[in-house]
């Protein structure tokens, strides 16, 4: 029994060196895409690892270019700015929209209406 426990511990240690996100969950997300039929084990591992690298990269570069450096915080607006300004994070603009005030939004709507009238 203790032998088995030891093995588990060793396995956990080697896993944590490699990846910490669960591959089963990543596979579930990948398979939710309708045109994907099979994924081999290496491809699944690579996608999981890449997702971890992506999370690190997104967090760090948003923080570095963000406004919260003085206050030691990473906030939503830093992420939204990264999505807007960085070429590689462009695909995130849909899920990381910039927050704007309702009155600014109404104003931009009005301006759009005006533009339409002019046409």
Partner 1 sequence: MAERPEDLNLPNAVITRIIKEALPDGVNVSKEARRAISQAASVFVLYATSCANNFAMKAKRKTLNAGDVMSAMEEMEFERFLQPLREALEAYKKGQKGKKEASEQKRKDKEKKNGTDENDKSRDEEEDEHMDDEQEGENEGEEEDVEN
| Site residues, partner 1 (CB under 8 A) | 11, 14, 17-22, 25-26, 28-33, 35-47, 49-60, 63, 72-76, 78-80, 83, 87-88, 91-92, 95-96
Closest CA to 29 of 18, 16, 19, 39: 39
The minimum distance between CB 101 and partner 1, in angstroms, equals 17
CB of 110 to partner 1, least distance (A): 29
- Which of 91, 88, 65, 94 has the alpha carbon at shortest distance from 77? 65
Between 95 and 101, whose beta carbon lies closer to partner 1? 95
Beta carbon of residue 109, minimum distance to partner 1 (angstroms, whole number): 25
The DSSP 8-state label assigned to residue 115 in this structure reads H
Name every residue whose Cβ is closer than 8 Å to that of residue 59 and which is 6 or more positions away in sequence.
74
């Amino acid at each position: 029994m203790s032998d088995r426990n030891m093995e588990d511990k060793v396995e956990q240690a080697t896993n944590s060196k490699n990846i910490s996100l669960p591959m089963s969950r990543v596979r579930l997300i990948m398979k939710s895409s309708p045109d994907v039929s099979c994924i081999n084990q290496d491809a699944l591992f690579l996608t999981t690892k890449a997702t971890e690298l992506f999370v690190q990269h997104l967090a760090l570069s948003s923080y570095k270019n963000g406004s919260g450096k003085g206050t030691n915080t990473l906030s939503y607006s830093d992420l939204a700015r990264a999505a807007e300004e960085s070429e590689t994070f462009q695909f995130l603009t849909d899920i990381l929209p910039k927050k704007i005030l309702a009155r600014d939004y109404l104003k931009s709507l009005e301006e759009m209406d005006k533009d339409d009238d002019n046409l």
